[in-house]
């Protein structure tokens, strides 16, 4: 067990877990699972490392609170420190995780969820944990195969919007998430907007929301940096 500094204030401890499965679900996109032996709040993250003394990175938990396995959804960054090693893990191998951390919590209140790429992960957790009432989900991806876990969200019907930047497809908006926001006549008001993705996506989306009259206090972001 090793203790790591998290934001310089809280101490995180990494412990070994055993890989249950590791699948490439879309080109360069992996779902890594291990047995769940702790509870968490949907939206929380884990620090993940190959060895306790190696560089760790954060990953959102993409499982429902009641599921038996913890699921991590990540994209392989060629030349990256951790993800090439995570992608090579086989069932039975071990890697290291912290206790759940972070405060990007889902709630039962009406909300708009805005995700880019693997930024869908915390919303998979919220959705699978039963936080389903009165939600609008907008997910952006480069390709038509970038809408990970889309079958989960089909029951949302017209409240599940897929924005694809590089391909066109039936029922899929062609363009970026901020363009989609700008084109809306009216956005739902009096509710929180949860944003998850790269720093660029979060900034562009925030600006578009503010331009459409969403108040800054109602914008909550998880930045994947």
Binding site for ligand FAD (CB under 6 A): 45, 57-60, 73-75, 77-83, 102, 118, 121, 222, 224-225
Nearer to ligand FAD, 82 or 97 (CB): 82
Measure the CA–CA gap between 215 and 189, rounded to whole angstroms.
9
- Minimum Å gap between C-beta 178 and ligand FAD is 21
Nearer to ligand FAD, 36 or 57 (CB): 57
- Minimum Å gap between C-beta 95 and ligand FAD is 13
- Minimum Å gap between C-beta 48 and ligand FAD is 8
In contact, 181 and 112? CB cutoff 8 Å = no
- Minimum Å gap between C-beta 42 and ligand FAD is 13
- Helix, strand, coil distribution of the chain in percent, nearest 5: 25, 35, 40
Give the DSSP H/E element, type plus range, for residue 85.
helix 83-87
Measure the CA–CA gap between 166 and 126, rounded to whole angstroms.
28
Give the DSSP H/E element, type plus range, for residue 31.
strand 29-35
Nearer to ligand FAD, 22 or 83 (CB): 83
Residue with the closest Cβ to ligand FAD? Answer: 80
């Amino acid at each position: 067990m090793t203790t790591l500094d998290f934001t310089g204030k809280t101490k995180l401890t990494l412990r070994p877990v055993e890989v249950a499965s590791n699948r490439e679900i879309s080109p360069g996109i992996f779902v890594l699972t291990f047995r769940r032996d702790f509870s968490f709040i949907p939206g929380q993250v884990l620090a993940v490392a190959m060895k306790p003394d190696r560089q760790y990175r954060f990953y959102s938990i993409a499982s429902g609170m009641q599921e038996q396995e913890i699921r991590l959804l990540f994209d392989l960054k060629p030349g990256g420190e951790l993800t090439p090693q995570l992608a090579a893990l086989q069932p039975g191998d071990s890697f290291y995780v912290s206790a759940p951390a972070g405060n990007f919590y889902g709630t039962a209140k009406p909300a708009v969820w805005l995700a880019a790429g693997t930024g869908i992960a915390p919303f998979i957790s919220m959705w699978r944990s039963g936080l389903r009432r009165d939600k609008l989900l907008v997910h952006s991806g480069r390709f038509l195969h970038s809408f990970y876990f889309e079958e989960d969200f089909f029951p949302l019907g017209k409240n599940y919007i897929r924005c694809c930047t590089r391909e066109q497809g039936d029922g899929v908006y062609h363009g970026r998430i901020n363009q989609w926001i700008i084109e809306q006549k009216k956005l739902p008001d009096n509710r929180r907007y949860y944003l998850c993705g790269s720093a660029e996506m979060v900034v562009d989306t925030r600006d578009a929301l503010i331009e459409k009259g969403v108040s800054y206090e109602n914008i909550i972001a998880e930045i994947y940096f």
